[in-house]
Structure formats: structure tokens, C-alpha cells
Structure 1
């Protein structure tokens, strides 16, 4: 775990991910969604074997995960700050939305791919790195 966190921290501090344009991160997340979709049957089979659920249920979950990755990609383009000019004379409030660092994600055995897909792409969309 320590090695994984250290690698994710190094990637955050020195790698390109948190400094990429939102459009670049979105393109990569969309590509990930496409790859998941192409390998849906294989991933569903592995998910069913790992969790013991019916293959039809696993297929549905992986298909839903594809949509989640695409949604997260769209949100990466919508991350923006805010400004508040109504705070009083000569005052301006500014909210910056910036990547915060390494995100740790723990997933349960019964929905391994779906739940990681409910968390990981959003952390990546925001520019964070992750340990899963």
C-alpha cells in the first residue's frame, strides 16, 4: 500500500496528469470508456467470477460503468471556479477548484468494477491521482 501511495504521490507531484487541460483529461477518460465497452464481455465475465453474480447482472453493471466514465469525462470540462463580488466594498471572493492529490479508493467484493467506476473517473476528471 505504501509503495502504491508513493507512486501515486510522485505521479501527482511530477507527472502531467494534474497539469493537463480539462479537454485532454476528458479525451483520455472517453478513451477509457471506449476500451471498457470494447472489452465489456471479458470484464463482465471476470466480475461475475469474482463476485459470484449472474453474468447478465455483471454485463449490466459494466455497461452502466461505461456511461459513468463518459459522464465523468464530460464533467472534467465543467470544473470551474467562482467569484463573489457581493461581499462588500473593495472585496472579491474567489473559489479555485484544483486537484488535491492522491485519492484512495476501496471497493467491496460484490460490485468491484461498478463501484470503482463511481469513484475513480471523477477523481481523475478533477486532476487527482488515485490508489485503487
Structure 2
């Protein structure tokens, strides 16, 4: 629902055959929802970041923050390295652990029609967490709750 609220496109269907897109949806029980998408079409790499006014587990609210910017090839290489280190394409979709305090980290990817989604609850330090943190770093936004 947060993605529809901000008009974010589906990455699972209707995706351009030549495009590559990755998106973090961060839903925290104590923070405002955040979506950060990085898309590469040809040589153009763009980042789009959105923050909503609601709370992670309830009504997502309305758009309160937005930024977009062009990334360079070095940023793209960092993203690809983080995806590889996390073994993103091999991870199971669900981590089967959820709680009432913390955050849901959903990372989607569509690489020229190949789609995958990974959903984890407050991932501990490690490659998947580093991948999620990289989205925030590339956007220039600071995660409100760094440990969740």
C-alpha cells in the first residue's frame, strides 16, 4: 500500500526489458515508511527516494519527503557488489521472523525481466543489512532508527 500511495511502479510486472531496478521498502514500527528505488536504463542510473507521514504498521500517510538524483557508474558497481555479497538472487523471499518492535526491510529487484523479492524483519549486521543500508547511503538520507 505505501508504494501505491506514492505512485511507485510495480517491479514484478510491466518492467522494461532493458531496465534494471532495485527498491528498498523500509517499514518501521517507530518510523515513517521509506521507499528508495534505483533504476538503470542504458547508461542512465537514477535514484528516487520517498518518505511518507504514517507509521510502518498502520496507514502509510501522505508524501512528506522526496528526492531524486542521478547516480554514477561507481554507485551502480557498489550496488551490484552489495547484491552479490548478500546473495540477493538466491535468498528465500521470506525470513519467517516478524515482531512488534523493529522494521521490515523489503528489497525487490528486476534485472531485465528477472524478478525477486526478499522480506526480512530488522536484519542483523551482515550482507543483507549492508545492502539495505546502502540504499539509504546512496540517497543521502539518514535512517531514523539506525539499529532497526
TM-score for the superposition, normalised by structure 2: 0.22
Between structures 1 and 2, the one with greater strand share: 2
* Structure with larger RCO (C-alpha < 8 A, sep 6+): 1
Between structures 1 and 2, the one with greater helix share: 1
Larger Rg: 1
TM-score for the superposition, normalised by structure 1: 0.24
